[in-house]
A and B are shown apart, each in its own frame.
Chain A
Amino acid sequence: MNAIADSRARLVMLGVALVVLCLLPAFVEKYYVQFVAKIMVMAILAMSLDLLLGYTGLVSFGHAAFYGAAGYVLALLTPQYQAANFWTSFPLAIIGAGVLAMIIGFFVVRTSGIYFIMVTLAFAQMLYFLFHDTKIAGGNDGIYIDVRPVAEIFGWQPFSLDDFVHRYYVVLVALVVVYLLLRMVLRSAFGHVLVGIKVNEHRMMSLGYPTFRYKLVCFSLAGAIAGVAGYLYSVDAGVVNPEYLGWHLSGAVMMMVILGGMGSLVGPMLGAAVWLLLELLFQGMTKHWQLLMGGFVVLATLFLPNGLIGLADIVSRRRDTSDGHD
């Protein structure tokens, strides 16, 4: 009864949020439209990590690798002073990120626990140093995407990525599609196996599930979705550099997931919004905003382990019990 009311309330909230997001560009300035678009990109990235972290129990500390890889796919597909095609470069970037995740996953998924954390980080940093130390794609300066991709298909151009409002709506559509896709995956038999692996992998194995394959598919899927975010961000920024692959981002995304509340799809989206807003706030206060960010991470880890969603649950539960006593 309560759970139904709860999920209905959540659905209403999501609906309202979607309507607000749809109407937003009509009411606010360019700066805020772009800022919200950035939040949505990070929300996609955070949801993809939550698939590993919150549902499958795989604590990946190298998730930015796939995000950055998609950006580099776009940069390398873009000819100098010309535009790549959106309809080919976007899928190729997603596939590229997914295939990379599958290759790395082949090595890392056979480990677990603390090993998994270290190995995912090590492979991501390997990629970082590959782009940082060699001349591929501009070395540590990164590479500019001189011209944004064109969305031309059979001579028809449905939208232009040079227009920030169009870019905003492309990101919004991607966010909705990723949300629905993940929701579908998590409600499928496949999704239930993933949750089973998180709770007790040995039991799932003895039930006859090839858990290695399930984890590998999950890792690749999460990587591909991270690629969606990486591509969209690179289109917006017009530049790709090794920091996109770095562990600062991997850690930040992890924090977004925890901050919102892992094991739900709404949580990471909420976490991404709060994280970026905090960053904006702290950046306005001091040049050394990372200090405040770090302090916030430490405090949030200690006092808010279940995230904002968890906090909301506690509050609502307390309200329920007090209702019961009346």
Chain B
Amino acid sequence: MDLYTFLIQLLNGVQYGLLLFLLASGLTLVFGIMGIINVAHGSFYMIGAYLAWSLSEHLGSFWIALPAGIVLTVLLGMLLEWLLIARLYQRDHLYQVLLTYGLILVFEELRSLLWGDDVRGIGIPGALSASIPLTETLSYPVYRLWISGICVLLAVAMYLVIQRTRLGMMIRAGSSNREMVQSLGINIQFVYRIVFAAGVTLAALAGMIAAPVSSVFPGMGNQVLIVCFVVIVIGGLGSVKGAMVAALLIGLVDTFGKVIHLDIGGVKVLPELSSMGVYLLMAIVLLWRPAGLFGTKP
């Protein structure tokens, strides 16, 4: 592998990792603050991607589809929290898993009803369709850099909102003691609604911006959800910093696993098996630190 190929794979790995972070941070926020495990998180990623495709077709531009999709998913998140999730706060995780499992089935079928079961694709938006030439044959697409940039920007914004704003203060207080915050006159119900909607929107946004580089297909959410779980298990539950480190780690392991062909004692490891590397990583972390790299307690 020469330097440029290595560089391209490195950038791809980081970009994939950042996208995973965007997804996993929504999941870990909702859990860390509200104590809710949401297995339908992957569905929101799928919904985001389909929204980006469908709205781009109808509105004519990816750049109009993006804000429109964000508004729709914020509303979807708030509606779901109000209608269903709010009834789960006092319940065991088992019921949270079941209800959100039911939501996966519902969303998959709604997707099938609304948008069909075909694989779709969106072209990379015009302004970002250029590539940066590295050598005579190799180049790197600008769009992928843009994805990474958006993810970093959102990560910083998330940090600032949680650590530096009044809303962030309420969110942090609400995660440690719901009743106390409520008795201080803060509408914790509303804070939770915002957090859940933010989680949904982060997942959907990840789906929207990933849509032009990965195809839009049924079941895309489930695949990514599992990787999100692995990110959270490795990073530590509820830890946004952990999610960042673990997501980058997995992005790199997965990307390089696909291009490096291992030869162990003359036996070639199948490239298909490279996706197992991610799970291997999880198994090692579980043995070494069952609470994850940045988790406080199991």
Q: Does A119 contact B (CB under 8 A)?
A: yes
A285 CA / B165 CA spacing, docked (Å): 52
A122, B105: Cβ atoms closer than 8 Å? no
A126, B286: Cβ atoms closer than 8 Å? no
Q: Does A219 contact B (CB under 8 A)?
A: no
| Chain B hits for A293, CB < 8 A | 102, 105
Instruction: List residues of chain B with CB under 8 Å of any chain A CB.
Output: 31, 37, 39, 84, 87, 91, 93-95, 97-99, 101-110, 112-113, 222, 226, 229-230, 232-233, 237, 270, 272-273, 275-276, 279, 282-283, 286-287, 290-291, 298
Interface residues of A in 27-49 (CB under 8 A from B): none
Q: How large is the interface on A (under 10, 10 to 19, 20 to 34, 35 or more residues)?
A: 35 or more
| Chain A hits for B98, CB < 8 A | 251, 254-255, 258, 297, 301
Among listed A67-75, A86-94, A107-115, interface-contacting one: A107-115
| Chain B hits for A59, CB < 8 A | 93-94, 97
Q: Which residue of B lies closest to A134 (CB)?
A: B272
Question: Which listed residue, A113, A115, A122, A133, touches B226 by the CB 8 Å rule?
Answer: A122
A122 CA / B290 CA spacing, docked (Å): 15
Q: Does A66 contact B (CB under 8 A)?
A: no
A261 CA / B291 CA spacing, docked (Å): 31
Q: Which residue of B lies closest to A296 (CB)?
A: B102
Q: Which residue of A lies closest to B36 (CB)?
A: A114
Interface residues of A in 130-155 (CB under 8 A from B): 130, 133-135
* B175 shortest CB reach to chain A, Å: 15
Question: Which listed residue, B87, B112, B273, touches A302 by the CB 8 Å rule?
Answer: B87
B105, A117: Cβ atoms closer than 8 Å? no
A294, B106: Cβ atoms closer than 8 Å? yes
B95, A118: Cβ atoms closer than 8 Å? no
* B250 shortest CB reach to chain A, Å: 12
B102, A119: Cβ atoms closer than 8 Å? no
B97, A122: Cβ atoms closer than 8 Å? no
Q: Which residue of A lies closest to B35 (CB)?
A: A114
Chain A interface SS verdict (over half): helix
A118 CA / B272 CA spacing, docked (Å): 23
B279, A254: Cβ atoms closer than 8 Å? no
Would A126 and B233 be within 8 Å (CB), given that A107-B287, A297-B101 are in contact? no
* B237 shortest CB reach to chain A, Å: 6
| Chain B hits for A254, CB < 8 A | 94, 97-98, 101
* 10 nearest A-B residue pairs (beta carbon): A294-B105, A297-B102, A291-B109, A294-B106, A298-B102, A251-B101, A118-B229, A126-B279, A301-B99, A125-B226
Q: Which residue of A lies closest to B98 (CB)?
A: A301
Can you name 30 A-B pairs with beta carbons within 8 Å?
Answer: A53-B94, A59-B97, A107-B283, A108-B286, A110-B286, A110-B287, A111-B298, A113-B298, A114-B93, A114-B237, A115-B233, A117-B37, A119-B233, A122-B226, A122-B279, A122-B282, A129-B275, A129-B276, A247-B222, A251-B101, A254-B101, A291-B109, A294-B104, A294-B108, A296-B102, A298-B84, A298-B99, A298-B102, A302-B84, A302-B87
A294 CA / B158 CA spacing, docked (Å): 33
Instruction: List residues of chain A with CB under 8 Å of any chain B CB.
Output: 53, 59, 61, 107-108, 110-115, 117-119, 121-123, 125-126, 129-130, 133-135, 247, 251, 254-255, 258, 288, 290-291, 293-298, 301-302, 305
A294, B286: Cβ atoms closer than 8 Å? no
* B288 shortest CB reach to chain A, Å: 11
Q: Which residue of A lies closest to B27 (CB)?
A: A118
Would A301 and B110 be within 8 Å (CB), given that A107-B286, A119-B233, A126-B279 are in contact? no
Question: Which listed residue, A115, A117, A247, touches B298 by the CB 8 Å rule?
Answer: A115
A290, B94: Cβ atoms closer than 8 Å? no
| Chain B hits for A112, CB < 8 A | 298
| Chain B hits for A297, CB < 8 A | 98-99, 101-102, 105
| Chain A hits for B222, CB < 8 A | 247
* B89 shortest CB reach to chain A, Å: 13
A290 CA / B103 CA spacing, docked (Å): 10
Q: Which residue of B lies closest to A127 (CB)?
A: B279
Identify 6 new A-B residue pairs, CB closer than 8 A, beyond the known A115-B290, A126-B276, A301-B95: A117-B97, A119-B229, A122-B230, A255-B102, A258-B94, A298-B99
A63 CA / B83 CA spacing, docked (Å): 30
